[in-house]
Chains A and B, each alone.
Chain A
Amino acid sequence: MIDIFWLIPLVPALSTLILAVFGEKLPKKYISFQACGAVFISFLISLYSFLGLLKVSPEEYPIVKNLFTWIHSGNFQANLSFQFDPLTAVMALVVTAVGFLIHVYSIGYMAEDRSYSRFFTLMNLFTFSMLVLVMASNLVLMFVGWEGVGFCSYMLIGFWFEKHSAANAGKKAFIVNRIGDAGFLIGMLFILVYVGSTEFSNINNAVAGGSLSHGLVTLIAILLFVGATGKSAQIPLYVWLPDAMEGPTPVSALIHAATMVTAGVYMVARMNIFYTTSETAGSVVAIIGAVTAVYAGTMALTQNDIKRVLAYSTISQIGYMFIGCGVGAYAAGIFHLYTHAFFKSLLFLAAGSVMHALSGELDMRKMGGLKKYLPYTYPTFLIGAIAIAGVPFLSGFFSKDAILTSAFAQGQYFVWILGILGAVLTAFYMFRLIFLTFHGKERIEPEVKKHIHESPPVMTVPLAVLAFFSVIAGYIGLPVVLGKNVNWFDRFLAPIMHKGHEAHLTIGTEWLLILISVIVALTGIFIAYFFYLKKPSVPHTLVRRFPFLYRLLYNKYYIDEAYDYLFVRPTLKGSEFVYDKFDINIIDGAVNGAASGTGFFGKVLSFLQTGFIKDYALVFLLGAVILLGLLIF
């Protein structure tokens, strides 16, 4: 029953094709029906295949369906083939389930937009590309999805391309991603040459069989991870994600929170044998993840734009996923990816609902007290915030705890401390957002206040569904301390994850770690409460007391400016200089110089043009004799 799984990506592909060709002529109702329907059918097939997979014994993973040989030349072969295994199943379900809800939400959110069909075409194309990414059975096809989602992201960030900022953000996202992709591509070339195949099963066998030297494994692992830092917005290539908020909010929810940005995590988990074999590479992943988690968290502290806070939060949370993968707890990393998909898309969609209510307002300084106006948005937003903050019994708590416990167990205490620090920040900035938006004094502009309204059911129902999952999603991966077999998620993924050295903590330590997590989350929430509800003067005092620190955070450590001065400007200025001085003056100058030189000689030689045929004949004869002489001797 599982053998129809390869249809999962093809349904949205077909829908994209129809919408791309006929979209402009179709009625809006039909467009949204088809676009949502296609993703829903994909979801059903994913679910069906997932249930089928449960009946397959782990020895038979992955189930591969080879459609045809795509590129074949000499030693290079890439197949158009899909695979299905537990990791793919989780990803496909997340992509289609969350994707479907966001598609439905978009019906309401994009209702007034004049490029309605373009929007849904691209959303379907994105779903298709993302499914190719997670279902490919080889690295080359995975790269197709990888670039495909990057393209859709480019198009959707720049969806309202008349705005300079939107067009710019789209271009920036694509180029920064391409820098990462260059690393990924080089890593792929190494694999192609040294493994001779890009099929995941062959790569796993080659690395497990030790046919690649340890240094090579580390090198490849790090090159691939460069790709991941681009796609998943980690240090140093995270700069595109905050700007990506220029896109419509459903796009931010689907692409820049739930699915595409986690592709890097998926890739690392898929290639886990590299990061298990090379501890150096694993540590690099964990440390980059941990530093990013804290770094992005600090930038979220001072932002006033509701979507930007969520964007930095996403960067930070993906950092956690990388901590998980870096310390060898791949299942925990993927578990956080899965729970995060629910609560972060919920937060984005709820933020979109706030924007919808406030005629597009994003600045939290012009909100406040919205609780009573938005009876559905508020509670769902709150649930999302509680989930991400790591409050017990909601999904985010279980997944974040699994990651931090693993880091601690592996002796990565530095990473663990950063993780804890990041958790305080997360709880704080999330509740700062909640309090500034929904509680306290109303700071809404009067003109905006006139039109304030709760969103239609087509938007609030997806919110409710996502809120529901944000609460319960964690219960398939309970902490091991509660019993041996409670972590179903871990066991489900175990067959395809390569374990490094096992480390066990005593039950006491585990409980202690859980306690610390809980205290940390509650502390963060309390500080936010104290700062923004109890004593709203405190933040201002702090700003006045530490102006430098505030400016540094508010301006995001001036990294965008630094990149601009270090890379963008020198490239442009240098190229212009070379163009003017070298291309035009020297190379072309030499040519034109040669031309005028020829002109001069031409004048000199023209004296030889006597006009008498006998003279020419003489020269001709002379030349012929010389040539003949050359040929003979």
Chain B
Amino acid sequence: MNIPLLSIVTFLPAAGALLFIFINRKQENLIRYTALFISIINFILSLFLYFNFNGQTAEPQFVEKARWIGYGIHYHIGIDGISLFLVLLTTFLMPIVILSSWNSVKDKVKEYHIFMLLLGTGIIGVFVSLNLFLFYVFWEAMLIPMYFLIGIWGGKRKIYATLKFVIFTMFGSLLMLVAIFVLYSIFYKTAGTYSLNIFDYYQLVLNPNIQIWLFLAFGLAFAIKVPMFPFHTWLPDAHVEAPTAGSVILAGVLLKMGAYGFLRFALPLFPDAAKKFIPYLAVLSLIGIIYGALMALIQKDMKSLVAYSSVSHMGLIMLAVFALNMESLEGAVYQMLNHGLSTGALFLCVGILYERAHTRLIKDYGGVSRQMPVFAALFLICMLSSVGLPGLNGFVGEILCLFGIFQSSKLLAILGVSTIILAAAYLLWMYQRVMQGPLENKKILNFKDLSLREIGFLVPIVLLMFFMGIFPKPFLRKMDASIEHLLKQVHRAETYVVDKEAYIKPSLKISEIDINQNTKENRTETEDNE
């Protein structure tokens, strides 16, 4: 089989966006159906990635290479057990967000869907890139559609929010770009050849002093994206102003890019520096858990409440990432998927309410359950998933994270457990004020329960929540080998030889010099994997 499946999954949304040039902007429903159709097809295709993925090996799979600019800049993509699920999460959420904005987006429908599909390609690209340059291109490119999605279809303060979002992210990524250049030059100096291949870099043994600066540059870019305390203030603004679909993608996948960046780049590339900074980063993560939860407790706006809850949840994920053991990393990746589902779903629920009452303020609601019993039940399940109730997905991730963290630091884990109390407090309190109590706002009397379309996009998420809560095995087994491999990468610190010239192991095999010849071999590799 010589089908470049991964490239198709990556670029199908963008190709779909191109197709829209031929569609008249007045045929809004045709645009919607086309976008939905493309995203569903893409999800189905990505399922083939899952079923053909070999969980026994840590080698990247579905690898595709092609010469591009030269000087080490090549088209090189592939997935391992970590990125596989982030790609799947993205392709799973795409049709859902398109369905969710069916009625709420009435303005510039064509552009909206073009940006949405481009965003899909951008995000998937970030997760599949194995070439640092390519990664950086996707990382930045994905900002553009997001910028417009918030800036055009957003709320009242959309310009402020979208600028803040972009400037924050750009600030981090520019430092990362500088760091990439430095890595590039170090590699050229030591190996005598150009490469931006991440696997070549893994074999670099860098001077710990240089590592520190590079780690900080990469780390800051990713920490802003997560976002880790104290770089989180762009998040509530961006969420509050973004359209529902934007929030879902933002919370569901974009934030994971930060955590993914740590796992793929910052930690394995600079293990010595990582060791040095992890205690501080872990404390910041813990502060994020508690701080985010306390801030969520007092928010008056449902969206910013969910946004701060993201800060708290991502704090737990990052704490697990920094614990660096098998259980904590599997827990962290699993929890990334959970958070994508539960927080995404919570934003969808807020969106459903917003479409009916055009307010996000908690105090404008009350007693909605009686009018919308089906919605009440689904909203409840999404909330409980976020709270980590056993039987649903959140619990599996949470217990693995906590167990992993506990093995590294008892104190941090014990303090981290406070999340299960605080999460219950802020979410249940919101649910009480919005869904329960007497019905005081007369507007709510006109609320209709969920339409078939709304059930259509919420129910798949809820079913997946149950599935992931009861059968985590199909997910965990596919990531075992990759995470084990990653751990080996990170724990190879202290291998640095004091000889200042020896930046690089003699055994380094340079993979990109004659890329054209390699391509064939890689194709056969891919075949084997399939």
- Chain A residues proximal to chain B, CB less than 8 Å: 20, 24, 69-76, 78, 140, 143-144, 147-148, 151, 154, 158, 161-164, 167-168, 170-171, 174-175, 178-179, 181-182, 185-186, 189, 192-193, 571-572, 574-576, 578-579, 583, 587-588, 591, 595, 631
Give the distance in Å from the alpha carbon of A578 to the alpha carbon of B432 in the complex: 24
B406 adjacent to chain A (CB < 8 Å):
yes
Q: Report A-chain residues with C-beta under 8 Å of the C-beta of B185.
A: 631
Give the chain B neighbours of A151 by CB distance below 8 A: 384, 389
How far is A306 from B403 in the complex, measured between Cα atoms in Å?
45
Closest approach, in angstroms, between the C-beta of B160 and any C-beta of chain A?
A: 9
Interfacial chain A residues near B325, Cβ < 8 Å: 74
Chain A binder among B18-26, B89-97, B351-359, B423-431 = B423-431
> In the bound complex, what is the Cα–Cα distance between A207 and B395 (angstroms)?
27
B199 interface hit (Cβ, 8 Å): no
- Is B298 interfacial (CB-CB < 8 Å)? yes
Partner of A162, one of B377, B400, B439: B439
Q: Is the CB of A189 within 8 A of B436?
A: no
For the residues of B in contact with A, the DSSP-based class is helix
Q: Tell me which residues across on chain A come within 8 A of B164, comparing CB atoms.
A: 591, 595
Contact B432 A168 (CB under 8 A): yes
Taking CB atoms and an 8 Å cut-off, the chain B residues in 454-491 that contact chain A are: 470, 472-473, 476, 480
Enumerate chain B residues within 8 angstroms of A24, measured Cβ to Cβ.
373
Q: Check B298 against A576 for contact (C-beta < 8 Å).
A: yes
Are A178 and B424 in contact, CB atoms less than 8 angstroms apart?
yes
* Cβ < 8 Å to A, chain B residues 413-430: 413-414, 417-418, 420-421, 424-425, 428-429
Chain B hits for A73, CB < 8 A: 326-327, 330-331, 400, 476, 480
Interface string of B358-373 (1 = CB under 8 A from A): 0000000001011001
User: 4 shortest A-B CB distances, which residue pairs?
Assistant: A74-B326, A161-B436, A144-B390, A167-B436
Give residues 229-258 of B contacting A (CB, 8 Å): 230, 232-234
Q: How far is the CA of A182 from the CA of B327 in the complex (A)?
A: 20
Q: How far is the CA of A175 from the CA of B421 in the complex (A)?
A: 6
Question: Could you tell me if B436 and A140 are in contact, using CB atoms closer than 8 angstroms?
Answer: no
In the complex formed, the residue of B with least CB distance to A147 is B390
Can you offer 27 A-B residue contacts whose CB atoms are under 8 A? A24-B373, A69-B473, A70-B472, A71-B399, A72-B473, A73-B330, A76-B399, A143-B390, A144-B395, A158-B432, A161-B369, A161-B436, A162-B438, A167-B436, A168-B432, A175-B424, A178-B420, A178-B421, A185-B420, A186-B413, A189-B403, A192-B406, A193-B403, A571-B294, A587-B232, A587-B233, A588-B233
B residues near A164, Cβ cutoff 8 Å: 437-438
Q: How far is the CB of B206 from chain A (nearest CB, A)?
A: 16
Knowing A171-B429, A182-B417 are in contact, say whether A75-B406 is a contact too (CB < 8 A): no
In the assembly, what is the distance between CA of A143 and CA of B327, in Å?
19
Once the chains bind, are A162 and B168 in contact (CB under 8 Å)?
no
> Which residue of chain B is the closest to A20 with respect to CB atoms?
B377
Q: Chain A residues with Cβ under 8 A from B473's Cβ? A: 69, 72
CB distance from A494 to the nearest CB of B (A): 32
Chain B residues within an 8 Å CB radius of A147: 389-390, 395
Interface residues of B in 147-196 (CB under 8 A from A): 164, 167-168, 185
B402 within 8 Å of A (CB atoms): yes
Complex: how many Å from CA A25 to CA B373?
A: 13
Q: A74-B325, A178-B420 are in contact. Are A144 and B391 (CB under 8 A)?
A: yes
| Contact in complex: B295, A175 (CB < 8 Å) | no
State in angstroms the CA–CA spacing of A432 and B330 once bound together.
Answer: 59
Could you say which residues of chain B place their CB within 8 Å of the CB of A170? 432
CA distance in complex: A121, B406 (Å): 37
| B228 contacts A by Cβ under 8 Å | no
B429 proximity list for chain A (CB < 8 A)? 171
What separation, in Å, do the CA atoms of A189 and B411 have in the docked complex?
Answer: 12
Other A-B pairs beyond A71-B396, A144-B390, A178-B420, 8, CB < 8 Å = A74-B326, A144-B391, A164-B437, A175-B428, A182-B420, A578-B295, A583-B233, A595-B167
Is B504 interfacial (CB 8 A cutoff)? no
